[in-house]
Amino acid sequence: MKILYVCTELYPLLKTGGLADVCAALPAALQASGCEVRVLLPAFPSIAAGVHIEGAAMALPAAGGPDIAGTSQPAPRILPGRVRATGQEVYLLDAPAQYQRRGGPYLDASGHDWPDNAARFALLSWAAAWLGLGGDARWRPDVVHANDWHTGLAPVYLQLLAGGGPKPATVFTIHNLAYQGVFPRDTLAPLGLPESLFTIDGYEYHGHLSFMKAGLQFSDALTTVSPRYAREITTPEQGCGLDGVLRHRSERLSGILNGVDYSVWNPASDPLVETPYEYNRMAGKAGAKRALQHLLGLEPRPDALLFGAVSRLSDQKGFQLVPAVLDDLVEHGGQLVVLGSGDAGIETALHDAAARHPGQAVVRVGYDEALAHSIMAAADVLLVPSRFEPCGLTQLYAMRYGALPLVHGVGGLADTVTDSTPETLGSGSASGFVFHEFSADGLRQALHRSFALHRRRADWARVRRHAMQLRFDWKVAAQAYCTLYQRIAAAPGTAHATSLNGSR
Tell me the mean pLDDT in the region 411-422.
98
Same domain, 119 and 234: yes
Report d(CA 393, CA 264) in Å as an integer: 13
Q: What are 199-224's pLDDT values in tens digits? A: 999 999 999 999 999 999 999 999 99
Give, for 443, the enclosing helix (H) or strand (E). Answer: helix 440-455
Report d(CA 437, CA 444) in Å as an integer: 10
Question: Lowest-pLDDT range, 4-18, 101-115, 236-250, 445-459?
Answer: 101-115
Same domain, 421 and 483: no
Task: Give the HSE-up count for residue 480: Cα atoms under 13 Å, Cβ half-sphere.
Answer: 19
Q: What is the pLDDT of residue 442?
A: 98
Report d(CA 353, CA 81) in Å as an integer: 48
Per-residue pLDDT at 504 exceeds 50: no
pLDDT grade, residue 498 (50/70/90)? very low
Tell me the mean pLDDT in the region 325-352.
97
- pTM, to two decimals: 0.91
DSSP for 248-281 reads: HTGGGEEE----B-TTTS-TTT-TT-SS--BTTB
Sign of CA dihedral 64, 123, 210, 142: positive
CATH number of the domain bearing residue 254: 3.40.50.2000
Whether residue 113 is contained in a domain is answered as yes
Same domain, 464 and 482: no
pLDDT grade, residue 63 (50/70/90)? confident
Same domain, 78 and 217: yes
pLDDT grade, residue 110 (50/70/90)? confident
Same domain, 210 and 73: yes
Tell me the mean pLDDT in the region 326-345.
96
Q: Mean pLDDT for the chain?
A: 94
Same domain, 251 and 305: no
Same domain, 234 and 147: yes
Q: What is the pLDDT of residue 90?
A: 98
Strand order of the sheet with strand 305-310? 361-365, 334-340, 305-310, 381-384, 404-408, 433-435
Q: What is the pLDDT of residue 102?
A: 87
Per-residue pLDDT at 348 exceeds 90: yes
Tell me the mean pLDDT in the region 342-348.
95
Same domain, 455 and 485: no
Whether residue 94 is contained in a domain is answered as yes
Per-residue pLDDT at 250 exceeds 70: yes
Per-residue pLDDT at 494 exceeds 60: no
Same domain, 90 and 179: yes
Whether residue 310 is contained in a domain is answered as yes
Report d(CA 193, CA 178) in Å as an integer: 23
Per-residue pLDDT at 321 exceeds 90: yes
Closest CA to 187 of 278, 115, 106, 260: 115
Q: What is the pLDDT of residue 58?
A: 96
User: Could you give the number of structural domains in the chain?
Assistant: 2
Same domain, 393 and 298: yes
Closest CA to 201 of 417, 502, 494: 502
Domain span at residue 366 reads: 283-469
Whether residue 156 is contained in a domain is answered as yes
Tell me the mean pLDDT in the region 170-187.
97
Per-residue pLDDT at 300 exceeds 80: yes
Whether residue 502 is contained in a domain is answered as no
Q: What are 437-483's pLDDT values in tens digits? A: 999 999 999 999 999 999 999 999 999 999 999 999 999 999 999 99
Same domain, 9 and 26: yes
Whether residue 52 is contained in a domain is answered as yes
Whether residue 503 is contained in a domain is answered as no
Percentage of the chain exceeding pLDDT 90: 91
Per-residue pLDDT at 322 exceeds 70: yes
Per-residue pLDDT at 25 exceeds 50: yes
Q: What is the pLDDT of residue 440?
A: 98
What is the residue type of 400? R
Q: What is the pLDDT of residue 503?
A: 32
Percentage of the chain exceeding pLDDT 70: 96
Whether residue 108 is contained in a domain is answered as yes
Same domain, 191 and 50: yes
Strand 36-42 relative to strand 51-53, pairing: unpaired
